[in-house]
Amino acid sequence: MSTLSQACQAALITGLAMATGAAHAQEATVTDPYIWLEDVEGEKALDWVKARNAVTEAELADTAEFRQLESQIRAILDSDAKIPYVSKIGDHYYNFWKDAQHERGLWRRTTLESYRTDAPEWETVIDLDALNKAEGENWVWHGADCLPPEYQRCLVALSRGGADADVTREFDLAAKDWVDGGFVRDEAKGGLGWIDRDNVYVYTDFGDGTMTESGYPRIVKRWTRGTPMAEAEVVYEGKPDDMYIAAMHDHTPGYERDFVSRTLAFYNDELYLVGEGGALSRIDAPNSANKSVHKDWLVLELREPYEAGGRTFPAGSLVAANFDAFMAGGRDFTVLFEPTDTTSLAGVTATANHLVLNVLEDVKNDLRVLTPPADGSGDWARSDFAGQPEGSVSVSAVDPDHSDAVWVHADGYLSPATLAIAEVGQAPQVLKTMPVFFDASTHEVDQFFATSKDGTRVPYFIVKPKGLALDGSTPTLLYGYGGFEISMTPGYSGSVGKGWLEKGGVYAVANIRGGGEYGPRWHQAALKQNRHKAYEDFAAVAKDLVARRITSADKLGIQGGSNGGLLMGNMLTQYPELFGAIVVQVPLLDMQRYHKLLAGASWMAEYGNPDKPEEWVFIQTFSPYHLYTPGKDYPPTLFMTSTRDDRVHPGHARKMMAKMLEGGEDVRYYENIEGGHGGSANNKQAAHMSALAFTFLWNQLND
């Protein structure tokens, strides 16, 4: 499916009171004594970081137990027995692989016949460690886009240290070498996309004024081989307060089309069809809808009610119409999915002749197959997905233009992942199984529901020892996110198993509002002035765990990153009495300045604009940096971030740590010097940071 807008968004979220809020915002910005810590790579700031790191390392990492756990997690991440996930490019199946010998990774390929065996024969295409050594760089793999139908030329994206900003370089798959004089895009947020062998779409930093206020491309151009990028033809120019501008060519045989995407904010975008002479025709569907085009069909995932063709389709529905007829003014839609109180659409996968829907019912997957009418009119045929495996299930197309084969991935909290291949309508054939990384026989999984402050029923999963004594004595780790319509479904984690479950701990995951577990309504219920509902949900889950005597407040630790780090910050400052320890990872915390730091401006649709007095009134109620009150009783806390995170600014964690440290709180800090928003650039760093978090939590909850 042509899902450019989705990719860009991945990539890729009273008068006196208002006046008081505005004055407070202005004063705080001027008087913030820790603003110097926003200087990401400044010498003074980095010296502070290194000093804090040393204290944390001395406390947590200088024991034999820590080194053993770190080694165990590293072995899991480096395991040669992990599933080597592949994508089909031409006649080969490509995999990006990291292990102990290849810290930055190998891009390699094999055949499907070989991949089916227990020991596939891999051919190395790019050795990133060797490339780094040869070029004196610290490249991190960001992916490759290869040009059909020959699949000889690829646009390879590489990031320094794992940042979102990257470079793109043209690579020849036949020669297995970089193309001399080929397309090259310098380091920036953005990308290149193939039109044909001699033309690409380029959206990147072209100089002053060419990036949005969110730090993403504002202009997309058509660039011809052999000409300077500066002379490339402008296809579309967005506005400074847009979020992301991009374009793509749909290479589907017989359906070649070009599109421009204008993303204004998360879940707010416009999609244009590029016509002859570069004329743009807007696809007149709601900005809030996910718009996908595949062959004859326009498919819309609705986030708001939509009136078309004399009908009203509810939010959360999936509807389809003939694309050409729609562009000609027709509005004859077919309903492919309509949500209920307990179901939502988790995903849509297009194959050559079918759509596979992934539906969540109370956060449990159910696959369904839809087949469009052969003549383009009439009803779509509906059937169950043959042989759906147990557990959390996801599907992706092997080759959506030419086949009905799909990859089927399944796992669970205690069930290692399996990867199968299936022709739609036939039972999947398991090709690979993840090894067992911890003893799961001692634990079991349950799902419970907590009641939030406003009466909303909030689901959560719990992984607990069998025969658990309900006396409140078990160390419990509760994880949450609650934002950007992202669902937290069950999944296997060797690190959690080794670092927590094998020790006898309980692991829980809260499916709070702000996420996508019940579709757009679940997400929209916690936006902006309603953000507090996500925090009330998480607090309700914490209280429910204690009420069930699974744990107690002093035995309950919590963890979350990014938007989940903001969640942790609010738990810390608003509900400190509920927890025994908190790990706050790559967080947003200063919600007064978040929109001025790196990609922060792109999230104002999620949180609001603090520069507007009427919005700062509610934003300040969930800004942990401003909610912190010295002298209040706070639980022990570990802040973790990355210097090279160019999405969520490390200044958030730095400043909060500095403020609380000065207040005499029980806080510690660790910042990885590279690693991007994921926190680490290789398995060694990832293992170290995981071991720090687990060690801190276990130590605190077992005092």
Task: Please tell me the predicted confidence (pLDDT) of residue 680.
Answer: 52
pLDDT, residue 17, reads 31
Nearest to 160 by CA among 643, 540, 578: 643
Crossing angle between the packed helical segments 64-78 and 683-701, to the nearest 10 degrees: 140
**Residue 562 catalytic?**
yes
**CA 292/CA 5 separation, integer angstroms:** 9
Measured CA to CA in angstroms, residue 590 lies from 75, 329, 626, 627 at distances of 37, 47, 7, 10
Cα-based angle 490, 338, 479 (whole degrees, multiple of 5): 20
Residue 275 sits at the vertex; the CA angle it makes with 273 and 277, to the nearest 5 degrees, is 140
Query: One of 214, 487, 562, 680 is an active-site residue; which one?
Result: 562
Select, from the ranges 98-102, 386-390, 643-647, the one with the highest average predicted confidence (pLDDT): 386-390
Residue with tokens 């199984």: 433
Does the structure show a pLDDT above 70 at 12?
no
Residues of the chain with pLDDT > 90, as a percent, come to 89
Query: Is the pLDDT reported for residue 15 higher than 50?
Result: no
Mapped to the 3 state alphabet, what secondary structure does 588-604 carry?
CCCCCCHHHCHHHHHHH
Contact indicator for 698, 507 with CB cutoff of 8 Å:
no
Q: How far apart are CA 259 and CA 283, in angstroms?
A: 10
pTM, two decimals, is: 0.89
Q: Is the dihedral of CA 105, 107, 112, 117 positive or negative?
A: negative
Could you report the per-residue pLDDT of 48-105, keeping only the tens digit for each?
Answer: 999 999 999 999 999 999 999 999 999 999 898 999 999 999 999 999 999 889 999 9
The reported pLDDT for the residue numbered 72 is 97
What span, in angstroms and rounded, lies between the C-alpha atoms of 625 and 15? 24
CA distances to 238, 325, 684 from 83, rounded to whole Å, are 41, 43, 19
pLDDT at 555: 98
Give the SS3 label for residue 84. coil
Question: Which amino acid is residue 141, in one-letter code?
Answer: W
Tens digit of each residue's pLDDT (9 = 90 or more) over 647-691: 789 999 999 999 999 999 999 999 997 544 454 557 899 999 999
CA neighbor of 669 nearest in space, from 8, 17, 34: 34
Q: Would you mind telling me the total number of residues written for the chain in this entry?
A: 703
Q: Is 386 exposed, middle or buried (0-12, 13-18, 19+ CB in 10 A)?
A: middle
Q: Among residues 164, 202, 215, which one has the least CA distance to residue 10? A: 164
3-state secondary structure of 624: helix
Is there a contact between 158 and 145 (Cβ–Cβ < 8 Å)? no
Smallest CA-to-CA distance from 189 within 170, 229, 159, 216 is with 216
Catalytic residue among 102, 595, 677, 688: 677
Rounded mean pLDDT, 8-25: 34
Q: What is the mean pLDDT of the chain?
A: 93
Q: Are 540 and 560 in contact (CB under 8 A)?
A: no
DSSP string, 68-108: HHHHHHHHHHH-TTS----EEETTEEEEEEEETTEEEEEEE
Q: Are the C-beta atoms of 465 and 443 separated by less than 8 Å?
A: yes
Q: 8 pLDDT exceeds 50?
A: no
Q: What is the pLDDT of residue 254?
A: 95
Is residue 22 pLDDT above 50, yes or no? no
Catalytic residue check, 71: no
pLDDT tens digits, 512-543: 999 999 999 999 999 999 999 999 999 999 99
